[in-house]
Structure 1
Protein backbone atom coordinates (compact mmCIF):
# COMPACT_ATOMS: atom_id res chain seq x y z
CA UNK A 1 0.00 0.00 0.00
CA UNK A 2 1.41 3.38 -1.00
CA UNK A 3 1.85 5.51 2.12
CA UNK A 4 2.58 9.23 2.24
CA UNK A 5 3.54 9.28 5.93
CA UNK A 6 4.90 6.40 8.03
CA UNK A 7 4.64 6.76 11.80
CA UNK A 8 6.43 4.14 13.92
CA UNK A 9 5.36 4.29 17.57
CA UNK A 10 6.80 0.89 18.50
CA UNK A 11 7.43 0.66 22.24
CA UNK A 12 4.98 3.44 23.10
CA UNK A 13 1.92 2.56 25.16
CA UNK A 14 -1.62 3.91 25.06
CA UNK A 15 -2.46 6.73 24.50
CA UNK A 16 0.80 7.72 22.75
CA UNK A 17 0.27 5.94 19.39
CA UNK A 18 -3.09 7.66 18.89
CA UNK A 19 -1.76 11.02 20.12
CA UNK A 20 1.16 10.79 17.67
CA UNK A 21 -1.26 9.86 14.88
CA UNK A 22 -3.45 12.86 15.70
CA UNK A 23 -0.41 15.17 15.46
CA UNK A 24 0.63 13.65 12.12
CA UNK A 25 -2.90 13.90 10.70
CA UNK A 26 -3.02 17.62 11.53
CA UNK A 27 0.14 18.21 9.46
CA UNK A 28 -0.97 16.52 6.22
CA UNK A 29 -3.41 17.40 3.46
CA UNK A 30 -6.87 15.82 3.20
CA UNK A 31 -6.74 12.47 1.42
CA UNK A 32 -3.22 11.68 2.66
CA UNK A 33 -2.62 8.11 3.74
CA UNK A 34 -0.82 7.68 7.07
CA UNK A 35 0.65 4.35 8.16
CA UNK A 36 0.76 3.80 11.92
CA UNK A 37 2.96 1.04 13.36
CA UNK A 38 2.59 0.11 17.01
CA UNK A 39 3.46 -2.67 19.42
CA UNK A 40 0.59 -1.68 21.74
CA UNK A 41 -2.11 -4.30 21.30
CA UNK A 42 -4.71 -1.79 22.41
CA UNK A 43 -4.38 -0.26 18.96
CA UNK A 44 -6.72 -2.95 17.61
CA UNK A 45 -9.59 -1.32 19.48
CA UNK A 46 -8.30 2.24 19.77
CA UNK A 47 -7.61 2.96 16.10
CA UNK A 48 -11.06 2.04 14.73
CA UNK A 49 -12.71 3.97 17.59
CA UNK A 50 -10.53 7.02 16.97
CA UNK A 51 -11.26 6.97 13.23
CA UNK A 52 -14.98 6.74 13.86
CA UNK A 53 -14.87 9.59 16.38
CA UNK A 54 -12.79 11.88 14.14
CA UNK A 55 -14.23 11.02 10.72
CA UNK A 56 -10.96 9.78 9.23
CA UNK A 57 -11.06 6.57 7.18
CA UNK A 58 -9.48 3.40 8.54
CA UNK A 59 -8.38 1.90 5.23
CA UNK A 60 -6.86 -1.27 6.63
CA UNK A 61 -5.44 -2.79 9.77
CA UNK A 62 -3.27 -5.87 10.15
CA UNK A 63 -1.09 -7.67 12.63
CA UNK A 64 2.55 -8.38 11.80
CA UNK A 65 4.07 -10.64 14.44
CA UNK A 66 4.40 -8.35 17.50
CA UNK A 67 3.29 -5.21 15.64
CA UNK A 68 -0.04 -3.74 14.64
CA UNK A 69 -0.20 -1.69 11.47
CA UNK A 70 -3.03 0.59 10.46
CA UNK A 71 -3.53 2.82 7.44
CA UNK A 72 -5.63 5.93 7.94
CA UNK A 73 -6.74 8.36 5.21
CA UNK A 74 -7.25 11.92 6.37
CA UNK A 75 -10.81 13.15 5.91
CA UNK A 76 -11.67 16.35 4.21
Structure 2
Protein backbone atom coordinates (compact mmCIF):
# COMPACT_ATOMS: atom_id res chain seq x y z
CA UNK A 1 0.00 0.00 0.00
CA UNK A 2 1.48 3.34 -1.06
CA UNK A 3 1.17 6.05 1.60
CA UNK A 4 1.62 9.76 1.02
CA UNK A 5 3.37 10.10 4.39
CA UNK A 6 5.25 7.60 6.53
CA UNK A 7 5.59 8.11 10.30
CA UNK A 8 8.12 5.74 11.89
CA UNK A 9 7.96 5.60 15.66
CA UNK A 10 9.99 2.41 16.08
CA UNK A 11 11.42 2.16 19.58
CA UNK A 12 8.93 4.60 21.09
CA UNK A 13 6.22 3.52 23.52
CA UNK A 14 2.69 4.74 24.12
CA UNK A 15 1.60 7.51 23.77
CA UNK A 16 4.31 8.59 21.28
CA UNK A 17 3.01 6.73 18.17
CA UNK A 18 -0.46 8.30 18.52
CA UNK A 19 0.98 11.73 19.30
CA UNK A 20 3.19 11.55 16.21
CA UNK A 21 0.43 10.49 13.82
CA UNK A 22 -1.84 13.20 15.26
CA UNK A 23 0.90 15.78 14.68
CA UNK A 24 1.42 14.59 11.10
CA UNK A 25 -2.31 14.62 10.34
CA UNK A 26 -2.69 18.27 11.34
CA UNK A 27 -0.65 19.44 8.36
CA UNK A 28 -2.09 17.08 5.72
CA UNK A 29 -4.91 17.47 3.24
CA UNK A 30 -8.06 15.38 3.67
CA UNK A 31 -7.82 12.00 1.94
CA UNK A 32 -4.05 11.66 2.49
CA UNK A 33 -2.96 8.15 3.40
CA UNK A 34 -0.50 7.90 6.29
CA UNK A 35 1.55 4.82 7.17
CA UNK A 36 2.38 4.52 10.87
CA UNK A 37 5.15 2.11 11.89
CA UNK A 38 5.68 1.15 15.52
CA UNK A 39 7.30 -1.50 17.69
CA UNK A 40 4.77 -0.86 20.48
CA UNK A 41 2.23 -3.69 20.48
CA UNK A 42 -0.26 -1.35 22.10
CA UNK A 43 -0.73 0.19 18.67
CA UNK A 44 -3.09 -2.68 17.77
CA UNK A 45 -5.62 -1.27 20.25
CA UNK A 46 -4.59 2.40 20.32
CA UNK A 47 -4.72 3.17 16.60
CA UNK A 48 -8.28 1.87 15.97
CA UNK A 49 -9.49 3.71 19.10
CA UNK A 50 -7.81 6.93 17.98
CA UNK A 51 -9.34 6.62 14.50
CA UNK A 52 -12.80 6.10 16.01
CA UNK A 53 -12.35 9.14 18.25
CA UNK A 54 -11.06 11.43 15.47
CA UNK A 55 -13.10 10.26 12.49
CA UNK A 56 -10.05 9.23 10.50
CA UNK A 57 -10.31 5.95 8.58
CA UNK A 58 -8.21 2.96 9.61
CA UNK A 59 -7.61 1.41 6.21
CA UNK A 60 -5.47 -1.51 7.29
CA UNK A 61 -3.41 -2.83 10.17
CA UNK A 62 -0.80 -5.59 10.06
CA UNK A 63 2.11 -7.04 11.94
CA UNK A 64 5.51 -7.41 10.25
CA UNK A 65 7.80 -9.29 12.60
CA UNK A 66 8.45 -6.95 15.52
CA UNK A 67 6.70 -4.02 13.81
CA UNK A 68 3.06 -2.99 13.77
CA UNK A 69 1.99 -1.07 10.69
CA UNK A 70 -1.24 0.88 10.26
CA UNK A 71 -2.53 2.86 7.33
CA UNK A 72 -4.85 5.74 8.13
CA UNK A 73 -6.70 8.01 5.68
CA UNK A 74 -7.25 11.54 6.91
CA UNK A 75 -10.91 12.45 7.23
CA UNK A 76 -12.22 15.38 5.39
TM-score bucket of the superposed structures, by smaller chain: over 0.9
Matched, 1:64 2:49: no
1:35 aligns with 2:35: yes
* Structure 1 runs, 4 residues or longer, greater than 2 Å off: none
Provide the C-alpha distance between the structure 2 equivalents of 1:36 and 1:71, rounded to a whole number of angstroms.
6
Aligned length: 76
**1 CA distance for matches of 2:2 and 2:46?**
23
TM-score normalised to the size of structure 2? 0.99
Partners of 1:43 and 1:55 in 2: how far apart? 17
Question: What is the alpha-carbon root mean square deviation over aligned residues?
Answer: 0.3
Cα distance in 2 for residues equivalent to 1:2 and 1:19: 22
- Long gaps (5+) in structure 1: none
Report the Cα offset of residue 27 of structure 1.
0.9
